[in-house]
Structures are given as C-alpha cells and as structure tokens.
C-alpha cells in the first residue's frame, strides 16, 4: 500500500497540485495557447475516431476469432497482441516502414494526420478485441438459436440478442482504448513528424513544455488530459448502462 | 472449409462469413502483420551485417544491457507487489477496497509522459517533494536508474495483478482454510497451497510485464533525461539513431526489441493451453 502510494498516488497528486499551484491562470494560458489547443483538439478528435473504428472492427475481429474456424486462426490470435507487447517506438518505426517515405506500396502518410490516426489505431487494436472475446466465448448460443427459431432474422438476432450481451464489454474496451489513444506518445514521435498545429499531439506538446523547463504548463496540460480520460471513462460507463437497460 | 457445410445452419450465410474473414485478415495484415514483417526485412536487408554492426556499437550494447536491468528490476518489484495486492484485494475486506481496485488500472490510462512528469515532480533532486531529502541521503532517483525502474514499474503495474486476481477469485479459500485448520502457518499456507494455484497466472503476468517493461519509452525518456548516453535505454536509442540517419542500426535494435516482444507473446500462447488442460 505504501509502495503503491509512493509510486502512483503521490506523483499523480503532485501533478494536480503543481497545476493548481499556478492558479487558473496557468490553465487558461495553457488552453488559450493556440498550439496547445490545436494539439488537444487533434488528440481528442482522432482518439474518438479511432475508438469508433475499434468498436466496429474490434467486435468483428472478436466474432471471427470466436465463431469462425479456419487454418491460421491461432496466428491471427497472436497478431492481435503484437501492438500491446511491441515497444511503442518500435510500433512507430514499424508503421513508418510501410506507410513512410520508403513505402513499398507507395503510400506516403508520414507527417500527416492520417499517420496519427494509423498509429493510434495500431496501439489500441487489442483492447476491444480482448474484452469482447471472453464474453462472446461464454455466451450461450442457445439464446441466439432460440431467437432464430422463433423467426427472427439474422440481423434482428444480432441486434436484439448478441449486441446487448456484448455491449458492456465493448464499452469497457472502448474506454480503455480511448484513454490509451489520447495518451499515446512513443509511436507518434517518428511517424507524425510533430508539426505544430498539424500533427502535434498533446503528449508531444507536454514534453516540449517539460524540456523547456515549464513544468507548470506541462502539469496543467497533464491535468486536462487526466480529466478528459476520466470524463470519457465515466460517460462511456453511463452510455453502456443505458444500452444494457434498453436491451 | 470442409466443416462449413456441416455447420451451415449455425454459422449462417457463407458469403457474410467469408466477407468478415477477409475483412479481419485484411485489416490485421495491413495494420499489423505487414508493417511488422517489414522491420525484419529492413534489418536483414544486408544479411546479418546490420545486426552485427549494431552489436559492435558500444552505445547499443550499453542501452540493451540497461534496458534489460531496468526491466528485470521492475518486473521483480511488480511480481512481489502484484501478488501482495492481489491477495489483499481478493482475500481481505477493508474500507477503500473498491477504490484501490479502480486505482490499479490507472497506470493503463495515464499517458507515459504524464507518468514521467509525475515522478519528476516528486523525486526531483532540486525541487521535488521527496527528492532533496533522498538526495541528501545519497540516493538520486530522477535522471538515474531508480527513477527509470520506478517509471517502468508504474507502467507495467496492473499486468500481474490483472492476471492473478481472477485466478485467486476462482480458486476460493476453502483449501487455504483447510490448511490453516490443520495447523499450517500463514507462510506455509501461501507457499504450499496458494502459490501452486496461481503459478501460471503469475508466469503470464511476468512475461507480459517483461515485454511491456523492455519497451517502455515515454515515461523512461522523461525520467531518464539525457545524461550523455548513461541513461539511454534501447527504445530511446532507436529514436536517436533513427533521427541521426543511422537507420540500419535503428532497425536492428528495433528488430531485437520486437523479437523479444513477440517471443514473450509466443511463450504466453504456448503456456495457456497447458493450464487449460490442467
């Protein structure tokens, strides 16, 4: 408990205290700084986009992994975990080799916003798949069969039976994925080029403050990020309860 | 495919299935599999020359050693702490348990840069909360190994706990109570009854933590500063080498890191069925 406080709680508290120590002015300065605001907006919007994509793709991937059977599925299962285990800087390099200047397919996406999207999609890929998969595995197929035998179409079965069961897992994964998305740093360093106003994300902005010795502004931005992450997790939790109730 | 016909009534319309299969494989191929394999290709573009060149570079060797030491230290700390917290969370009731449970996941959601910033603010030798005191007692945390170990431990913190907690919950405490009623003390009960039960969960947790720890970049970069290569870990080195246009070295080190990560995943994948059979 003491170790946990020393390692996690006190340092995080220090960030908030440091940010609050500057009063509202530090926050106001940080947010009204056009470059910081651009970085915040890019980060949040891209993460929302990626999370939406992940909610669809993650569910489909989980469905294929659980319900489908074909040779090479075990490898697919392994591939899902690669973004999680791969060092983030290596993830950036990896994407750069396919979508960068030396791309063998001629797609040159580095230093653009597409690159930011790609990198975040890469690192957040496993979250929804891995939260939905166990739920789908445990789910009784009898219920779906019953619905189908009562004349429900495949789509109706999916919408009324399968989706409500999976919803909590999808939203839990989505909040993890969003939190990870807005905090991503390592994979973006090489790939996005960190152009101010265009492809600079919040983490990079924070590090710039930090390297310039402006810890108060860095702490203010960090606090904003913590609040955004928290707000996202709470609101996704509320949506998830609504969906579960309606289903 | 042969089984597709037999299962048709359950598995639905064939073309939907094929479409989904194709979509998933395509998506994963373009997003993960192909880029990852390109790193291997770039590394071995000149055969083993790139790797052996990289290993001749003292900076690379030093960075790899440092990464290894930091990762092992962080994993050991997380192992002890993780098992302790898991036992605490599952076996004991205390006020604030739910909060602790929620807080465990915090490191997953916090940006590595924020982690680094937080540690710097508290343990910095000049204006940190505890930093000056620790420095007076001869322990430099930030811009040195202890800070890097802490940053790594912070980031990989939930992994062991999240593997061990469900297993402990499933196991129940009947056997432990039986052992205790037969006169075993707490330590004996833990070693002879609890530990064998959670052994595999611990192994996964450790392997996953190791993969995560080896590759931690953002947090370590902030905490380590840049003390003339003294505190450069392997992932930071990849960035430096790449930006200095020593791409071959960067790719070689990146390949080694990626290889270690994939190896960890394969170990976990091979271990899992074993436990299921047990």
pLDDT bin (cut points 50, 70, 90) of residue B3 is very low
Could you tell me the CATH number of the domain that includes residue A77?
Answer: 1.10.3720.10
Element containing residue B156 per DSSP (H, E): helix B145-171
ipTM of the shown complex: 0.72
Tokens found for residue A185:
């740093």
How many domains would you assign to chain A?
A: 1
| Contact across the interface for A86 and B258, Cβ inside 8 Å | yes
CA B263 to chain centre: 13
**Do both B32 and B151 map to the same domain?**
no
Residue A103 pLDDT grade (very low, low, confident, very high; cuts 50, 70, 90): low
What pLDDT score does A235 carry?
79
Report the gap between the CA of B182 and the closest CA in chain A (Å): 31
B13/A154 touch (CB, cutoff 8 Å), yes or no:
yes
**Choice between B243 and B75, residue whose per-residue pLDDT is larger:** B75
B27 plus B74 within the same structural domain:
no
**How many domains is chain B partitioned into structurally?**
2
For residue A35, tell me if it sits in a domain. Answer: no
Q: Is the pLDDT of residue A156 over 60?
A: yes
Residue B20: name the closest of A157, A74, A69, A82 by CA.
A69
Answer yes or no: do B29 and B109 share one domain: no
Q: Which of B8-17, B73-82, B226-235, B239-248 is the least confident region?
A: B8-17
For residues B27 and B51, membership in a common domain is answered with: no
pLDDT digits (tens, 9 = 90+) for B163-205: 888 788 777 778 888 888 887 777 888 878 888 878 778 888 8
Instruction: Examine the domain organization and report whether B36 and B158 are in the same domain.
Output: no
Mean pLDDT of B211-233: 73
**pLDDT band, very low/low/confident/very high, at B4 (cuts 50, 70, 90):** very low
Q: Which residue range is the domain that position A69 belongs to?
A: 43-246
How far does Cα A58 stand from its chain's mean position?
A: 12
* Mean model confidence pLDDT for chain B: 75
Question: Domain containing B23: what range?
Answer: 1-43
Q: Of A1-15, A76-90, B144-158, B243-257, where does mean pLDDT reach its minimum?
A: A1-15
pLDDT digits (tens, 9 = 90+) for A157-194: 777 778 877 888 888 888 888 888 887 777 777 777 66
CB contact B146 to A (< 8 Å):
no
Question: In this model, does residue B160 exceed pLDDT 60?
Answer: yes
DSSP B173-223: SHHHHHHHHTT--HHHHIIIIIHHHHHHHHHHHHHHHHHHHHH--HHHHHH
Residue B9 and residue B103 in one domain:
no
The yes-or-no verdict on residue B260 having pLDDT over 80 is yes
Q: How far is B171 from chain A (nearest CA, A)?
A: 19
- For the whole model, what pTM was predicted? 0.77
pLDDT of amino acid B118 = 79
Which among B110, B153, B265 has CB closest to A81? B265
Within-domain flag for A164: yes
Residues of A in contact with B264 (CB under 8 A): 85
**Nearest Cβ partner for A78 among B107, B235, B265:** B265
B35 lies in the same domain as B53? no
Mean pLDDT confidence for B151-155:
81
Q: Is the pLDDT of residue B142 over 70?
A: no
Between A3, A82, A125, which is nearest B262 by CB? A82
What's residue B73's pLDDT?
Answer: 85
Which structure tokens are listed for B88?
A: 């605490």
Interface test with B, best of A39, A73, A186 (most B CBs within 10 A): A186
pLDDT of residue B47: 66
| Residues of B (78-97) whose Cβ lies below 8 Å from A | 81, 85, 88
* Each residue's pLDDT tens digit, A20-58: 666 666 667 766 777 777 888 888 888 888 888 888 888
Q: Which residue among A9, A15, A82 places its CB closest to the CB of B265? A: A82
> Both B225 and B88 in a single domain?
yes
Does residue A21 belong to any structural domain of this protein? no
Q: Can you tell me the mean pLDDT for A201-222?
A: 76
Residue B6 has pLDDT above 60, yes or no: no
Flag if B109 and A118 touch (Cβ within 8 Å).
no
- What gap in Å lies between CA A60 and CA A69, rounded to an integer? 14
How far CA B203 is from CA of A216, B101, B207, in Å, comes to: 41, 21, 6
Q: What is the mean pLDDT of chain A?
A: 77
Q: Is B8 on the interface with A (CB under 8 A)?
A: no
Q: Do A51 and A124 touch, CB atoms closer than 8 A? A: yes
Domain check: are B72 and B4 in the same one?
no
């Amino acid at each position: 408990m003491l170790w946990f406080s020393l390692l996690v709680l006190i340092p995080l508290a220090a960030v908030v205290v440091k940010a609050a120590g500057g009063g509202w002015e530090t926050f106001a300065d940080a947010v009204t700084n056009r470059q910081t605001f651009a970085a915040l907006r890019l980060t949040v919007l891209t993460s929302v986009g990626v999370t939406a994509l992940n909610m669809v793709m993650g569910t489909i991937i989980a469905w294929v992994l659980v319900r489908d059977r074909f040779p090479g599925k075990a490898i697919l299962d392994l591939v899902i975990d690669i973004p999680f285990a791969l060092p983030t800087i290596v993830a950036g390099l990896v994407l750069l080799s396919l979508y960068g200047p030396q791309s063998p397919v001629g797609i040159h996406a580095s230093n653009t916003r597409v690159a930011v999207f790609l990198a975040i999609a890469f690192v957040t890929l496993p979250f929804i798949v891995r939260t939905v998969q166990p739920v789908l595995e445990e789910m009784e197929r009898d219920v779906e069969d019953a619905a189908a035998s009562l004349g429900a179409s495949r789509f109706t079965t999916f919408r009324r039976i399968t989706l409500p069961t999976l919803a909590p897992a999808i939203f839990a994964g989505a909040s993890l994925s969003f939190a990870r998305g807005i905090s991503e740093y390592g994979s973006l360093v090489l790939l996005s080029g960190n152009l101010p106003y265009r492809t600079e994300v919040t983490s990079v902005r924070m590090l710039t403050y930090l390297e310039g010795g402006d810890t108060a502004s860095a702490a203010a931005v960090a606090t904003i990020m913590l609040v955004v992450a928290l707000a996202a997790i709470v609101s996704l939790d509320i949506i998830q309860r609504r969906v579960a109730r309606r289903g | 495919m042969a089984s597709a016909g037999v299962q048709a009534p359950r598995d639905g319309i064939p073309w939907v299935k094929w479409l989904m299969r194709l979509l998933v494989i395509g998506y994963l191929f373009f997003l993960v599999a192909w880029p990852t394999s390109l790193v291997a290709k770039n590394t071995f573009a000149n055969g083993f020359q790139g790797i052996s060149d990289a290993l001749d570079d003292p900076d690379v060797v030093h960075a790899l050693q440092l990464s290894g030491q930091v990762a092992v230290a962080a994993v050991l700390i997380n192992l002890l702490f993780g098992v302790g917290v898991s036992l605490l969370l599952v076996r004991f009731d205390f006020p604030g348990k739910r909060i602790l449970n929620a807080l465990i996941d915090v490191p997953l959601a916090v940006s590595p840069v924020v982690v680094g910033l937080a540690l710097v603010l508290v343990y910095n030798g000049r204006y940190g909360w505890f930093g000056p005191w620790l420095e007076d007692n001869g322990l430099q945390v930030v811009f040195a190994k202890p800070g890097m170990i802490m940053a790594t431990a912070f980031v990989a913190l939930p992994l062991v706990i999240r593997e061990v907690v469900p297993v402990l919950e499933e196991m129940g405490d009947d056997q432990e109570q039986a052992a205790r009623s037969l006169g075993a003390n707490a330590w004996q009960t833990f070693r002879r009854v609890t530990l064998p039960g959670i052994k595999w969960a611990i192994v996964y947790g450790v392997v996953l933590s190791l993969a995560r720890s080896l590759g931690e970049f953002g947090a370590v970069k902030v905490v380590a500063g840049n003390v003339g290569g003294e505190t450069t870990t392997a992932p930071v080195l990849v960035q430096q080498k790449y930006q200095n246009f020593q791409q071959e070295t960067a790719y070689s080190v990146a390949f080694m890191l990626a290889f270690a990560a994939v190896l960890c995943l394969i170990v976990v994948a091979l271990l899992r069925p074993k436990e299921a059979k047990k």
